Each structure stands twice: as structure tokens, then as C-alpha cells.
Structure 1
Amino acid sequence: MEEKSVQAEVASYTGRLFRDNFGKGPSSVYVSIKHPFITIYLSEFLAPMEKVLIGQRNFMKIEENRDLLMKELLPEIKATLRVTADIHVENIYYDWSLSNRTGILVGVMKEDQEVKEHSEFPDYPHKLEIQDEIIKVSEQAEKVPELVDSLYLNSRTLIIERMGILVEIEKELIRSGFRESLRLSKRRLEKRMLDAKVIETILGTPVIDTFVDWDFDLDKSHIIIILKPKKS
């Protein structure tokens, strides 16, 4: 199947899945594929009941409910990507921007272990500056990551991958069963600390959305920055 056909198939499936399970689907779904990532960006995604909760400024409740539902949906999404698009996803990360009514799903495809251990993402303009800024934010929020790398999927999607960022108190909270509380708190903290104006200055283009999620078991995190494409 051609890439555009795969993207259209995944976008259509995702829209139906979210409509069936959340009561309202996103108005648009944008799919990007560049090994080892597939991203699914949702726009105008907010269920009727969630609008009420936002009016009450009960953002935490929305995220808690979405996390519970996503735990049920992730195995189905993985299986569907494998069967319909021949995309073998190892892990899926996700996050929401409730104020913008957007969301992101990031699938990490399975790789050969030797390739995984010896690969770096290609360079792009200002890559080191972006990664230095992420290191500064990580140091303030947790600690300096053991590894940082980043990849442009396309002109509007930048993914930054971090390894080894959890501090001991966070690891203890995870062992004590406070994963969800830690995840929600870290989302708010890091997105508050990520300065869009600094990113915009480095890359020379406006930031539309910023997302972040973690795999606590692997001590890995992904930051996704959605940019306004530059005019050609």
C-alpha cells in the first residue's frame, strides 16, 4: 500500500474509533510516518461532556477519563496498524492540548535491537540548540537526560526523545502505585516550563502545540512540537 493510502486509512480508522468511544470524533486527523515513528494528530477533538468539565476548569478529570479509555484502546490501535497498514508498533504514547482541542498519538515502530542501539536521527538546522534547550528544561524539572535525540517527521512535526530522566523520588512514586498522578503532574509541569517563544526563536517558525508523554518502565519520554509550516 502506498504511503498516502496508508495515511488515509489510518486517519479514517482513528476518526471512527474516537467517535465510537468518546461520543465525538476529531474534525481532522493528520497522519505522518517516518521510521521509527508514526504520529496521529487530532484537531477539534472535545466530547460534549468534556466541554462542561472545561467550563468548570476540571481539566484533571478529563485527562484521567481519557487515560482510562486509552488504556483500553491502545491494544486495538496496535493490532489495527499491524493488520491494515503492516506497521508494527512497539509502544504508543499520547497527550492532549485541551485548550486547543487537539491531541497526539505517537507510535514507535519495532526495530532490530542492533539497529536501535547504534542509530541516531538525521541532523537538521539548529538541532543541537533545540536539544540543549530541552536538556535545560529537563534539568530543572527532573535531571539532565542520559540521552537526547530529535527528528523532524515533516515540516510541522518535531519529535524529541529523551532517555534516563526519572529521579529517585519519581521511581519510588511509580513503585508505590502513583503512576497516573505522577504522569498528570509531570505533563503540566513540563509543558509549563517549555518556552514556546524560545523554540520559535531557534527554529524561526511559530509553535502551534506542545505534547509530552513518558514510558516509566523504559525511563523514556517523547516531546512533540507541532509547528506552523514555513511558507515556501
Structure 2
Amino acid sequence: MRITDLPVEQRPRERLRRLGPDALTDAEVVAILIGAGNREHNAIDLAHRLIASTGGVAGLATTTVQEIERIRGLGPAASARIAAATELRRRAALTEPASGVSGSAGVAAAVLPHLQDRQRERMMVAVLDRRLRVVDVVPIAEGTTAHAAAPVGDVLRAVLTRGGQAFALAHNHPGGSLEPSPADRTATAQVRAAAEACGLRFLDHLIVAGDHWRAI
């Protein structure tokens, strides 16, 4: 069935206009981005296939254009629209607050968009000014799914070259555990000592697993 064969009130675009985007299913949202189907599948069918192939909308958010195009019926235009929409969502999440970060929760808000849904372990440093406002969030290391090292020299260089006076570390555990490893604790102690020697304020080291986090 083509989407144009559906009653007007059941079509995704009309439902969005009438009820707002929150009322749409994941497949309906993606179908609007796809735009049109083909002779075999309508846009909603293609959206279901795409979401299933990526393991859900969280997986879709990190899927490349080339991976999207592997779904039969999705060409370069639809793939580009979907990739652009997920990038727009990521950039919106990275919008910095006017005020400084407040405790671990503030650090988490700055780094989560960089670490959620990552399949490989990645370490970030959030660079802050003297008022604890976020200057930049910088990737420092990316390892296998099991480990990403914390190169102390690279961390300090990232902070100092950006004029930072405070910073925080964060890395993800793709396996879902929030429990710090002995290596995580050792890295935290090393970075804290190095920060003190350089006159920098070290705020925190967070572990991120999906939408959850904890401070070491």
C-alpha cells in the first residue's frame, strides 16, 4: 500500500501537522525523512527496515550514509536527509549553556552527546574557563570496545592550548557497566596529580554507559 492510499488523517506528515511530532512513531518520523518509497515498499515500510537493521533509533543516530544506502530502496538523497537530521540533533545537544557547569551533572550534560551510542571506548576532555563555562569538548583517545587509554600529556595539552583553567575527563563503557576498572582509577589519579602540578583545576572523571553515568 502506498502512503497516498492511506486516509489523509493517517499519513505521517498530516499526523505531524495535526498532532505534533511527539505523536508519531519512530517509523513515521523516519518515513518523513525518507520522503517516498518505491514500487515494492512505501516509506513507512522502508523506515521499519532501516530501524530494524540498525538496532533501533539509537543505532540509526550513529549510522553512516553508506550504511543507510545499503537498504534497498534508500538512495543518496534519502540517506543524506537522515544523516543530516541526526547530525542536527547532535549539534543541538551540544549547545553550550550560558552559565558554568554545576558539579558532575553539569559535566555529564556536556559530554554525553559525544559518548552515547558509541560502539568503541572513547575518552573526552571537557575544557572549562575560570567560571567553569565549557570552552570545548575534545576527543583524546579511542580504543577497542574494552579499553581507551588516558594519555596525560595529551589531556593537559588539550586544556592548555585552548586557554582552559579547569577540565573534566569522561569515557564510555560500551558494555554497559558503570563500574570503574583499576586502570580507570589509576588514570584518574595520574591526571589529578598532573593537573595540580600545572595549576589546573581537575573537576571529575565520569564513566558513561548509554544514558547513565557515574563519577569515579
* Alignment TM-score, normalising by the size of structure 2: 0.28
Which has the larger share of strand? 1
Q: Which has the higher contact order (CA 8 A, sep 6+)?
A: 1
